[in-house]
Amino acid sequence: MGEADRGETAPRHRLEFYCANGHRTRLSFAVDAELPDTWDCPSCGLPAGLDSENPPAAPRNEPYKTHLAYVKERRSDSDGEALLAEALAKVADRRTPRG
C-alpha cells in the first residue's frame, strides 16, 4: 500500500529496556533473533527490563545502602522498639528539670 520503507534492510523488533536508575535503552533485534527479557544498562551497568514501571532490582552488592537499612536488617522489630523506648527515655530524662 505504498509504504515508504524500502530503505529498510530487514524488519526488526524494537525493544526499550529500563533500568532502576531510569535510563532507557533502545535496541533493535532481527525478527528471527531471540529477544532477551533483560539487558545490562550501558549507562550504569544495572540490569534493565522491558517494564518501565518495574525495572529489575539492583544486584545485592549495590554500594548505596544506608546505615539505617543495615540496622533494620540486623535487628528484629522488638529490638527496634526497645531501642526506641530507650532513646525516648533518655530524651525525657534530659528534659526533666533538675532539683
Is position 44 an interface residue for Zn ion (rule: CB under 5 A)? yes
Residues 6+ apart with CB under 8 A from 40: 46, 47, 48
Q: Judged by CB under 5 A, which of 17, 18, 39, 41 binds Zn ion?
A: 41
* 23 assigned to a ligand binding site: yes
Contact indicator for 12, 28 with CB cutoff of 8 Å: yes
Residues 77 to 96: which contact Zn ion by CB under 5 A? none
Side chain identity at residue 27, one-letter code: L
Q: How far is the CB of 84 from Zn ion (least distance, A)?
A: 37
Q: How far is the CB of 65 from Zn ion (least distance, A)?
A: 18
Q: How far is the CB of 21 from Zn ion (least distance, A)?
A: 4
**DSSP letter, residue 80:** H
Phi-psi region of 67 (alpha: psi -120 to 50; beta: other; left: phi over 0): alpha
> Binding site for Zn(2+): which residues?
19, 23, 41, 44
